[in-house]
Amino acid sequence: MSARAFSISHEDRAKLIQGAFEAKKGTYSPYSKFPVGAALLAADGTLIKGANVENASYGGTICAERTAIVKAVSDGIRSFVGLAVVTNVPAAISPCGLCRQVIREFCHLNMPVLLVPADYPQTLKEGEEPKPGYTEGGVKETTLGELLPDSFGPEDLELPRQGDGGGV
Ligand SMILES: [Zn+2]
């Protein structure tokens, strides 16, 4: 466990990890052949699953993380306590930049983000120490703020502004 205090319980962690694996089954990724599953845990305990949904017009592709966020928000769920992401790669794979920004719209910067290896739970060899930032089972535990430092968010649009805009 890293020195940082994550506000996620063991139970919620397990729920998120399992949810991400289940979410990945919904992938539609015939082009990239890179299935991704994301699970979002809402403050009310609801687990929202999302998979990546690709498109023959590649720009229409939607990542798993954004699928989950959009499903939740459009159902009226806007308060989240954790996110887990898993791919078929046996290593921690991070959300893309676009997803980080979309997550930022609705989630606290200190919200835990669990990057789960495909071969979870990984086991450490005798005497081996987990890498910094990694926890039980080979999960990389980070936060939205670490993934998207110095970010722009909704509150920035509330700041007082100089002039009427449209010039110097
Ligand atoms: Zn993405």
**Span 21-41, pLDDT tens digits:** 999 999 999 999 999 999 999
Q: Cα of 93 to ligand 1 centre, how many Å?
A: 11
> What gap in Å lies between CA 55 and CA 43, rounded to an integer?
32
Q: List the chain domain ranges.
A: 10-158
Q: Cα of 168 to ligand 1 centre, how many Å?
A: 35
For the question of residue 146 being annotated catalytic, the response is no
> Mean pLDDT throughout 52-71?
98
> Mean pLDDT throughout 57-82?
98
Architecture of domain 10-158: 3-Layer(aba) Sandwich (3.40)
Q: Cα of 101 to ligand 1 centre, how many Å?
A: 9
Q: Which of 65, 105, 129, 158 is catalytic?
A: 65
Backbone angles phi, psi at 153, to 5 degrees: -140, 180
Single-letter amino acid, residue 9: S
